[in-house]
Structure 1
């Protein structure tokens, strides 16, 4: 559940910072489904086509030298098991699957 909350929070932050900065009327929608041990979060919003699955990988570097941007999508990718994107008639749809059966996702060396 914490992974899903983090994904939702990061998505919201990206929408507010990159898609609708300063637009108080901007809205996005979230659908939640759970089947077969997988939670699917489906985000939808109107706007220009932007496929977050095509964003380049984040290069490892110190926080002091890192440019702002891309870390939210990297975090969403790390916490999810599958991400799909589509764009139809001005609506962006991002589906994020989180497997609730295979835990933990953390690297065993960190435990």
Structure 2
């Protein structure tokens, strides 16, 4: 009887087959353009993250990469610009209409 109970206990502790882990959905992060500044002013995100830049101020703005990789064009108040960042690295982003508005992005693990 003891041997049977021991087998039952060992069977209960045996690892169960698991299904493959589900890939996480791509993250989406909002960045606000308010009163002539990006909020937040800096972020670190994983590759594949989509940033949604939303102009929540009263003035038009742009979301422009300092290395010329992308530019949102002029965003009227209430407009948004979406960009998925797949390439790891550092991005210096600014508003072409108000160059003192800067945003620092690090894409990496």
Larger radius of gyration: 2
- TM-score when scaled to structure 2? 0.29
Higher relative contact order (CA 8 A, sep 6+): 1
- TM-score when scaled to structure 1? 0.28
More helix by share: 1
